[in-house]
Every structure is written in C-alpha cells, then in structure tokens.
Amino acid sequence: MINKQQKKNQLIILTIFGLTIIPFLIAWGLEKYPRLVKGTTNSGQLIIPPVTTERTDFTGFDPFSTKNMAELAGHWLIVNVIPETACNEICLDALLKSKQLRLMLNKELPRTRRIVIVFKEPSIVDANQWWLKDTLLGKLHRTKNPADDALFLSLLREENKLDDTLIERLIGTEDKEFALNSDLIRVKPSIELIKKMTDIRQGKSISDGMLFLIDPLGNLMMQYDSEFNTYKVKDDLMHLLKISQIG
C-alpha cells in the first residue's frame, strides 16, 4: 500500500519530468503545427531542438544588473544581443522595439523579463548612453510631434548623445528617479553561451540587436533578425505563453 510520503515522492518525480520535457513538446508541436505560431515564416525562426543555457552563463554587466540577476529565474526572457562594442541605429531601435513588445503583453507582462546580452566590453560612456536612450527615447514618440520624431531618429545614431539638457527635457515633470528606472537587465555571457548562440546562426553572423526568446527553464526557443516586426513577435510570444504553463 502506498503511503502519503511515497505519493508525494512520486508527484515530485513526475513534476521534474514534466518540467524537463515541456520545452521539447512545445518545440515539437510548433514544428508539427506551425500555424500555432503566426508569421514564423516571415518573422522568427523556431530553434529545434531548443538550446539549453545555464544561469552561470549570465553575469551582470553592471551593479544594477548584478543586483537584479535573480529576476531572470522562472521568467520568459526577451533577449537582444549587442555583439560588438558599438550599438548602431538598427541595434538601438531593436532595444526600443523590445521595450514596446513587453508593454504590449499587458497582463502577461509579469511573466517576462527583458535583457540585453553584451558580447564585448564597450566604453562606460557609450554603454551608459545606450541605457539612457533605451529608457527615455520612447517618450519622444508619444508626443506625435514631427520635430520630436526627427529628434528621435537623430538620437538613434550613436554619435548623437543625450546631454543633461535633453535628459531634463525628456523627463519633464516626472520624478527623476522614477523616470530613469529601467526594466532592462544587462548581461555579460559566458564563452559557452556565445558559442551556443553563434552555432544557432548556422554560419550567419549575429546581427546588431537581434532578438532571442528564452523560456523559464533557460532554453533558447526562437530567434529573430534585428529588424523584426514587433507585432509578429508579440503574436509568437503570446502563443508560447498560452501553451506553456511554466513561468
């Protein structure tokens, strides 16, 4: 006769097995029935089989990120990649689109976290400009003002910097600490993770700002070129969130 402890042990074993096999079932199902993910032929590419990562593959790029690394556990990760020491217009625009993407998830937003993986060591000045622009430039789009649209496009270029005057203008009447608060966790990858991501590309380079989706178990699930369509990625991610009970 099975006692309560034996039943509990069996349940734990089944749970662990389920968590291990779920990502592969998702990948198999999406490969078998691609209509479950709208637009994958025009937008993203499913990574089959999923490529596993470890938490030790991710190190905080700066004190803010180191402090918040625990946020990665148990969440779907929206991941941009900066492969070089520069982040050009396409790269920065991809970061901003990922920010918009996460906001578009509405009630599913808490199941996700947004990170950027920085392959090489940029200058501190350049990196700080990237993070400031990621935090503040979206405000220019909200005004619907042609002059602000032109300023937005100008500031996407890396040579054009946000100075104190512009920062104060973009913050406006908001509390400065609140306005500069970022949801972007910056990550330095392990050598092993760089190799895995490079291998996924099958000979193609990792483009500036390109996007990956990682499930809560650390599996690389989907990849997108840097000029991805935000709405199509949202459709893909919403389907993954719908069919997954993890994260």
Give 70-87 pLDDT, tens digit per residue.
999 999 999 999 999 999
End-to-end CA distance of the chain: 36
How far is the C-alpha of 64 from the C-alpha of 69, rounded, in Å? 9
Superfamily of domain 4-243: Glutaredoxin (3.40.30.10)
How does residue 28 score in pLDDT terms, banded at 50, 70 and 90? low
| pLDDT reported for residue 91 | 97
* CA within 13 Å, CB half, 95: 29
Q: Check whether 114 has a pLDDT greater than 60.
A: yes
Task: Using a pLDDT cut of 90, give the percent of the chain over it.
Answer: 75
Strand partners, 187: 60, 117
Provide CB contacts within 8 A for 137, sequence distance 6+.
92, 96, 152, 155, 156, 170
| CB-CB contact of 23 with 76 (8 Å) | no
